[in-house]
């Protein structure tokens, strides 16, 4: 942050402090309102490909788009480690995984670290968090929270409260999390203070359970296939070939796609014990009879379609059928997220909160919607490396602008702190996005970002890797049980189908990027020693399971 940017904020804070102290009769709320409220909206596994502000090829999200239309849309936003809890740890600490220690979804977050909500709370903000955190412990710096235990449930979910109790709420998670957020803004807030609200959806995380009305509507729709649905991973390395996230081979008919286990068995298509799990102990088993009755006719229709067609289908047909079922449920879940975000935006408008509230929409990472034949995330390849990001802030961010700068979830904490005029701890590793938000793009100098993924061996079998991405290139090293490098020429091969690491034409690029990657590892304090430490820790943890 430079002096010019700091000045207006410093002035407004000085004004707030002095008015608060000396002029008791003055309308305090007016002055205090200069510190913006922040609503941080994050969904779980929401791919940018499923947001119409980016592309309406698959679906429309009119309410999420309102945020982009009223503010800035980032087209090159990425995460530092494409998996849930590590992404959240990076967001809250403003530090890379190897520094905050949350390398995977297994280990609990180290709560002795400073997170940005703590700094907001200390600075006089009212703070709240509703929805999914996934840390294995409760958040600090939050006045009031209701968080889902672990991954949480879609149907009749449990929540952990500020006092540590576990309570059950009847209904659909996306609606309930929104109700809690609106109720907090409406009834529980101290209106003389600015607020930070973390509004965190569980949807559209696997195993997808839409609301009945959406389930019905979307189960009748069909969606365009991505070009690389039948990718055979030639011209890629071992990691892409051995990953277990192919829709045809690894997506489960019953658990993921809602074919009854007995039907799957009868047709000899059962490939995984979890096929029965969805009905026996998944969200379906949490429904009361009335709720089940709303789902049954739709489930019956899906099952009839499966029975009628599966036995005569080719492998390609099966892939296509599974892809369509996947998209139907995934996009149906998103439609409910979108409607609920509309409710929150309407609430701000109707309650005169719109002008002074920053609204952010993002996801904890991206997701594959059939690209390379995949679902899930974890890879540094485009669809899971990128994450949606849009921010509106009336009178500060021009409506309808876009930025293709290489920004990351690492930058969020510093951005929010600067926007609120709270000083930024020196050891945070990101950069405030304020220059990009306020049109001072010449002050933004970063041209590459660092990525590091750890959770392996694990579900989906995505190998450990780290790398550097610029707008032009991506250089990745896979390690642990392989030692393989990959280079993608993003301008000529945006879909990342050809690893050109061994192509002599790129020899100079490889040398240059390897040097930049080494410099980056040094700058962010990552190292081979740390990699080894995390490997040992991970082995230990798995041995104890």
Which window, 140-148, 205-213, 302-310, 443-451, contacts ligand SGN (CB under 6 A)?
205-213
* Binding flag, residue 65, ligand SGN (CB under 6 A): no
CB of 283 to ligand SGN, least distance (A): 11
Exactly one of 16, 36, 41, 45 binds Ca ion (CB under 5 A); which one?
45
164 sits in the region (left: phi over 0; alpha: psi -120 to 50; else beta) called: left
Torsion (CA) 57, 60, 326, 488 in degrees, nearest 10: 50
Residue 404: count other Cβ atoms within 10 Å of its Cβ. Answer: 11
Q: Which residues pair with 166 in a beta bridge?
A: 160
State the Cα–Cα distance between residues 77 and 431, nearest whole angstrom. Answer: 13
Which of 154, 473 has the CB closer to ligand SGN?
A: 154
* Nearest residue to the partner Ca ion, using Cβ: 84
Contact partner at residue 465 from ligand SGN, Ca ion, none, CB < 5 to 8 Å by partner kind? none
CB of 82 to ligand SGN, least distance (A): 8
Which of 45, 526 has the CB closer to Ca ion?
A: 45
CB of 206 to ligand SGN, least distance (A): 4
CB of 207 to ligand SGN, least distance (A): 5
Which of 458, 497 has the CB closer to ligand SGN?
A: 458
Q: How many CA atoms lie within 13 A of 184 on its CB side?
A: 24
Stretch 79-98: interaction string toward Ca ion, x if CB under 5 A: -----x--------------
* Binding flag, residue 44, ligand SGN (CB under 6 A): yes
β 389-392/401-403 pair status: unpaired
Exactly one of 84, 177, 345, 437 binds ligand SGN (CB under 6 A); which one?
84
Which of 151, 509 has the CB closer to ligand SGN?
A: 151
The conformation of residue 52, written as its DSSP 8-state character, comes to: T
Structure tokens at 226: 């991505």
Which window, 41-49, 310-318, 403-411, 534-542, contacts Ca ion (CB under 5 A)?
41-49
CB of 89 to ligand SGN, least distance (A): 12
Instruction: Decide if 257 contacts 327 (C-beta within 8 A).
Output: no
CB of 323 to Ca ion, least distance (A): 20
CB of 104 to ligand SGN, least distance (A): 9
Structure tokens at 476: 């990745």
Which window, 54-62, 202-210, 235-243, 336-344, contacts ligand SGN (CB under 6 A)?
202-210
The residues in 370-409 that bind ligand SGN, with binding defined as CB under 6 A, are 376
β 401-403/72-74 pair status: parallel
State the Cα–Cα distance between residues 209 and 172, nearest whole angstrom. Answer: 9
State the Cα–Cα distance between residues 330 and 120, nearest whole angstrom. Answer: 34
Q: Which residues pair with 38 in a beta bridge?
A: 196, 358
The residues in 119-148 that bind ligand SGN, with binding defined as CB under 6 A, are 134
Residues 6+ apart with CB under 8 A from 7: none
CB of 379 to ligand SGN, least distance (A): 12
Which of 37, 275 has the CB closer to ligand SGN?
A: 275
State the Cα–Cα distance between residues 142 and 145, nearest whole angstrom. Answer: 7
Rounded to the nearest 5°, which phi and psi values hold at 223?
-125, 150
Which of 367, 450 has the CB closer to ligand SGN?
A: 367
Structure tokens at 438: 């306020």
**By C-alpha distance, which of 163, 132, 164, 165 is closest to 149?**
132
* Nearest residue to the partner ligand SGN, using Cβ: 84
H-run or E-run covering 68: helix 62-70
Where on the chain is the footprint of ligand SGN (CB under 6 A)?
A: 44-45, 83-84, 105, 134, 151, 205-207, 376, 459-460
């Amino acid at each position: 942050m430079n002096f010019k940017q700091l000045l207006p904020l410093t002035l407004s804070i000085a004004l707030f402090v002095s008015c608060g102290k000396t002029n008791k009769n003055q309308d305090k709320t007016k002055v205090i309102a200069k510190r913006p409220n922040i609503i941080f909206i994050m969904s779980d596994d929401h791919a940018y490909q499923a947001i119409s502000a980016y592309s309406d090829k698959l679906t429309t999200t009119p309410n999420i788009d309102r945020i982009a239309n009223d503010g800035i849309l980032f087209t090159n936003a990425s995460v530092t480690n494409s998996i849930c809890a590590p992404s959240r740890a990076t967001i809250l600490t403003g530090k890379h995984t190897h520094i905050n220690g949350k390398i995977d979804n297994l280990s609990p977050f180290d709560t002795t670290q400073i997170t940005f909500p703590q700094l907001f709370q200390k600075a006089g903000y009212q703070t709240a968090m509703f929805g999914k955190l996934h840390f294995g412990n409760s958040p600090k710096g939050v006045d009031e929270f209701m968080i889902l235990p672990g991954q949480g449930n879609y149907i009749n979910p449990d929540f952990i409260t500020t006092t540590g109790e576990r309570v059950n709420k009847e209904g659909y998670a996306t609606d309930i999390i929104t109700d809690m957020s609106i109720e907090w803004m409406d009834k529980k807030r101290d209106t003389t203070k600015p607020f930070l609200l973390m509004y965190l959806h569980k949807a559209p995380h696997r195993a997808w359970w839409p609301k009945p009305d959406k389930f019905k509507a979307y189960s009748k729709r069909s969606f365009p296939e991505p070009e690389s649905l039948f990718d055979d991973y030639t011209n890629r390395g071992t990691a892409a070939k051995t990953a277990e996230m192919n829709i045809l081979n690894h997506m489960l008919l019953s658990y993921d796609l809602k074919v009854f286990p007995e039907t799957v068995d009868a047709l000899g298509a059962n490939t995984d014990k979890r096929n029965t799990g969805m009905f026996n102990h998944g969200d379906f088993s949490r429904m009361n009879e009335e709720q089940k009755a709303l789902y049954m006719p739709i489930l019956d229709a899906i099952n009839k379609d499966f029975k009628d067609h599966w036995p005569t289908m080719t492998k390609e047909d099966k892939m296509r059928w599974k892809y369509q079922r996947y998209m139907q449920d995934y996009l149906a879940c998103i439609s409910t997220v979108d409607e609920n975000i509309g409710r929150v935006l309407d609430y701000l408008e109707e309650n005169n909160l719109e002008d002074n509230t920053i609204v952010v929409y993002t996801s904890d990472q991206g997701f594959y919607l059939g690209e390379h034949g995949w679902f899930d995330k974890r890879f540094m390849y485009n669809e899971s490396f990128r994450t949606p990001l849009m921010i509106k802030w009336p009178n500060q961010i021009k409506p309808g602008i876009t930025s293709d700068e290489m920004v990351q979830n690492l930058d969020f904490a510093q951005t929010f702190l600067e926007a609120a005029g709270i000083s930024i701890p020196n050891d945070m590793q990101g950069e405030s996005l304020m220059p990009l938000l306020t049109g001072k793009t010449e002050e933004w100098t970063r041209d590459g970002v660092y990525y590091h993924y750890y959770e392996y061996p694990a579900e989906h079998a995505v190998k450990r890797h780290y790398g550097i991405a610029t707008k032009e290139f991506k250089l990745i090293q896979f390690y642990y049980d392989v030692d393989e490098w990959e280079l993608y020429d993003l301008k000529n091969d945006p879909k990342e189908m050809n690893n050109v690491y061994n192509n002599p034409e790129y020899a100079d690029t490889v040398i240059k990027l390897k040097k930049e990657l080494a410099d980056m590892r040094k700058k962010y304090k990552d190292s081979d020693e740390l990699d080894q430490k995390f490997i040992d820790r991970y082995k230990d943890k798995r041995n104890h399971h």
